[in-house]
Structure 1
């Protein structure tokens, strides 16, 4: 495995930005950025020797040229931020402990992105809610996910069959995720959430609800019994500078462009992961040459509403 690949894996495992790594070997951020993107015009042999010596001292480069990467317990195939760690952590806890958890964060903060990733795990049911759903729709969806036959009986009977399924010793360890749960709640629709609460109260299943920050207020106003049962909650903070720099670590980018993208992505009024991703996609469409410049960033941002 070559030095560049080992370096990329080391930075991923340690959650390091280009700036963070460059400081470790006392070189400039632009040198490491250009090296990783294949645009370095200096003496590659010299820079690779410095990188390799450092990686060996960290135990990340074996004597025979093989990597010895000490990765975290779980290495998701998604971009890891503190928010993503919180989402995955609360899902894991609720599944293992049959708990009730809430995830609160603005649109674009990556809730759905992370929840759908976790939903690929065994015994996880994911539902994306909307305003048009009825209590019957929710029951039918859960039956479908559990492969239970939908019988022509009352909703009360169908919910009891779902609870019996989760109570069975053969079906322990399930988690149900209700994304955009704030869309289920207003003063006329409490019954939708009461169905979920009823299943949780009388069966061995973990539940996570996710939605906009106002979900917290909605729960306390329209479904206090549900709110009182929440064991744990995570409030998403959005991206920080380190997140953005790690996301851009494989691009050749000027300091001015980096600072502007960081400003956009971390803005507390509109910044979020979705804005960051859209900005980068627009930059790649308009950039001239192989380096991201401030001019390319400014053009790209004008392409968005």
Structure 2
């Protein structure tokens, strides 16, 4: 076979591809520092197939590969749009507890449940976990967008994945989702899972049964009651974690101040720790620090020192914290 014939044969193997998706992939790859090995672990495809796609010369089942890549890129782009506050996330005991639960669920393809009082930083911990595992699907339930009904669940999925292959005349959205996720082993994380309705919980159980995908439900203490809405619900949970910040409140408070108001750490670490120990925990501290920083920077009357500004902001909270003098 001469050189011309060889060249033509190689060219014939190269498949058409989505150039826009290719450009987006290259951008997020650089942004997140992904290596070829990282992409292989996330996608499950061979390094050769991924490398050829990255080089703009894909072969094989390009359509199937691009379906995976679209989901990966969508998740990466959504994370890039996170609020400025989320860019200052840091590790806490809750982050470790949630990470361990997710890892166990993934390793055993089971359902897990994480329960914790409001304000502990559960949602922030989930954002950090999802950033480390871009292949995970994180859905955040919200009463405004339908809560935890099956319809709301499907809509939430639709915002997170590539749905170009969905053909409404051939199958329902639910059937398509089962086909799309079966055998992928992708982790589904549902934040604010205590909002799940009875039918919503049945939907989640059905998704887990039908796809084999691991699922982790995360919510407030009401989640335990939610799970009892369906008789088979509690028995499907393979690992349960009760989140708390006990014994680490001083560390958490100091770490948060170092991220958000470093010049005030020495003066406020003790007071901040007291806030974290009370209802609202990290969420309350975030609100107090935000207001106090503004007042201190503006030179508000009575907020001449870090401590003065902090105590003034704290006094505006609904909860009476009664900090030490």
Q: Distance in 1 between matches of 2:89 and 2:154?
A: 31
The counterpart of 1:276, out of the listed 285, 289, 293, is 285
1:75-86 counterparts in 2 under 5 A? Answer: 78-86=89-97
> Per chain length, whose mean CA-contact separation is higher, i.e. which structure has more relative contact order (CA < 8 Å, sep 6+)?
1
The counterpart of 2:270, out of the listed 256, 259, 276, is 259
Gaps of 5+ in 2: 1-86, 319-325
Stretch deviating more after TM superposition (116-125 or 203-212): 116-125
TM-score (norm 2): 0.59
Change in CA separation of 1:139 and 1:128 when aligned onto 2, cut-off 3 Å: same
1:202 matched to which residue of 2? 210
Change in CA separation of 1:181 and 1:252 when aligned onto 2, cut-off 3 Å: closer
Secondary structure (helix, strand or coil) at the match of 1:304 reads: coil
Superposition deviation, residue 144 in structure 1: 5.1
Confirm or deny that 1:128 pairs with 2:144.
no
1:235 matched to which residue of 2? 242
Superposition deviation, residue 193 in structure 1: 1.1
Q: Distance in 2 between matches of 1:127 and 1:302?
A: 35
Q: Distance in 2 between matches of 1:253 and 1:210?
A: 31
TM-score (norm 1): 0.62
2:11 matched to which residue of 1? none
Answer yes or no: is the 8 Å Cα contact 1:90–1:101 preserved in 2: yes
Secondary structure (helix, strand or coil) at the match of 2:232 reads: helix
Kindly provide the CA deviation profile for residues 240-288 of structure 1, in whole angstroms up to 9, marking residues without a partner as x: 1222133335334456x43222212212xx1411111222222222337
Alignment root-mean-square deviation, CA:
2.9
Secondary structure (helix, strand or coil) at the match of 2:107 reads: helix
Answer yes or no: is the 8 Å Cα contact 2:201–2:227 preserved in 1: no
The counterpart of 2:106, out of the listed 87, 95, 106, is 95
Kindly provide the CA deviation profile for residues 91-139 of structure 1, in whole angstroms up to 9, marking residues without a partner as x: 2332333221111112221111121232233321111113424423323
Change in CA separation of 1:282 and 1:203 when aligned onto 2, cut-off 3 Å: same
Answer yes or no: is the 8 Å Cα contact 1:245–1:258 preserved in 2: yes
Structure number with the higher helix fraction is 2
Number of aligned residues: 218
1:1-305 counterparts in 2 under 5 A? Answer: 78-120=89-131, 121-131=133-143, 132-133=146-147, 134-143=149-158, 145-148=160-163, 149-152=165-168, 157-168=172-183, 172-185=184-197, 190-220=198-228, 222-238=229-245, 240-249=249-258, 250-254=262-266, 257-267=268-278, 270-287=279-296, 293-305=306-318
1:69 matched to which residue of 2? none
Answer yes or no: is the 8 Å Cα contact 2:296–2:305 preserved in 1: yes
